[in-house]
Structure 1
Amino acid sequence: MSSFNRRSFLMTATAFGGLAGCGFAPVYGPNGRASVLREAVQLTAPDTREDYTFVRAVEAQLGAARTPRFKLDYKISTDKNSIELTRDQEIYRYHVTGEVDFTLTDQASGAVISSGKVTAFTAYSASESTFAALSATRDAYERLTVQLAEKTVAKILAVVGTSG
């Protein structure tokens, strides 16, 4: 009976150049796609709670700009809809959608490196308690904004990695 051993596979693949030959490289590694953007992306200053969360989440992935080579402009929009009602027609659950329109520009040349739109959604339950309702709402918007930031960075990295 044969069993798969991950360590043996990785050591064999590395020894024969299998992982390097197939183009595998960690995105956040020393020579990965993200190294070009590391601590080099200046984001538009946040105005809202969602903007602040977005900036914080992008900087968690790319680092705060120390030597700003790129400028990331973004616009976040959200929408909230009720999705479940009680028998008495009281709202029980909310569905929150969001999107970010973004443009990453090289500050020296003014060239647009990447632009596009990403979308995400989340949901939360309503509560009779004012504090619980406020907390659930804030948490949902924070989760949504973090998802949007992660998708934005992923989309940018896909372009940066193919353009050199």
Structure 2
Amino acid sequence: MKRALLVTVLAAGTLGLSACAFQPLYGDAGQIAAVRGVTIVVEGQERVDQMLDEALNDRFGTPGGGRYRLVAETSTRTAGLGVGADDIANRSVLRLTVDFSLVETATGTPAMTESVQTEATFDIPREPYAAISARRDAEERVTQEAADRIALRVARHIHRGGQ
């Protein structure tokens, strides 16, 4: 009896969802192909630039000579947050700013130009290797977050038909 009631409730819920104008997050095949075809160009030779390039390629897939080219330029800034009794910073914040443009490949005109900022805090231990490792972890976190934000903005732009 309970099983029949559960099946009835699930069936009614499914019918209700079918009429609510719900659209899948990933859109139709044309939109997916447009996002997958974005060629990534990250200017700069720093570690953060290479990590952002890799993260964006993970999100957009292998470049396929599509309609768009994403050009990004990074800048980082580190500031001390916590100061110990010895007057040495023991906690820092790493801020990453990425200025990016989505450029139409055929015409070379920018379809959108925006900027994203991300930040991550990290401890600065006294041991040199641990300090390097903590900073690299912060770099990884800010580039992953920036790539997520950029991918969402580009996907939204493409989904809206370039508006």
TM-score range, shorter chain: 0.7 to 0.9
Give the drift of 1:13. 4.5
* Count of aligned pairs: 154
Deviations 1:76-129 (A, max 9, x none): 111100000112212110011111110011101333222201111101000111
Deviations 1:48-99 (A, max 9, x none): 2111111111111110203343111111111100000112212110011111
Q: CA RMSD in A?
A: 2.3
Amino acid aligned to 1:50: V
What SS does structure 2 have at the residue aligned with 1:163?
coil
Could you tell me whether the CA contact under 8 Å between 2:34 and 2:67 is conserved in 1?
no
**For residues 20 and 161 of structure 1, do their structure 2 counterparts lie closer, same or farther at Cα, with a shift above 3 Å needed?**
farther
Determine if the alignment matches structure 1 residue 26 to structure 2 residue 25.
yes
Determine if the alignment matches structure 1 residue 15 to structure 2 residue 15.
yes
Partner of 1:42: 39
Unpaired stretches in structure 1, ≥5 consecutive residues: none
C-alpha separation between the residues in 2 aligned to 1:44 and 1:95? 26
Could you tell me whether the CA contact under 8 Å between 2:56 and 2:151 is conserved in 1?
yes
Give the drift of 1:140. 0.7
TM-score (norm 1): 0.82
Partner of 1:132: 130
Could you tell me whether the CA contact under 8 Å between 1:71 and 1:106 is conserved in 2?
yes
**For residues 144 and 15 of structure 1, do their structure 2 counterparts lie closer, same or farther at Cα, with a shift above 3 Å needed?**
same
Q: Which has the larger radius of gyration?
A: 2
**For residues 141 and 20 of structure 1, do their structure 2 counterparts lie closer, same or farther at Cα, with a shift above 3 Å needed?**
farther
C-alpha separation between the residues in 2 aligned to 1:96 and 1:15? 49
Give the drift of 1:24. 2.3
Give the drift of 1:146. 1.3
**For residues 36 and 87 of structure 1, do their structure 2 counterparts lie closer, same or farther at Cα, with a shift above 3 Å needed?**
same
Amino acid aligned to 2:40: L
Amino acid aligned to 1:75: E
TM-score (norm 2): 0.82
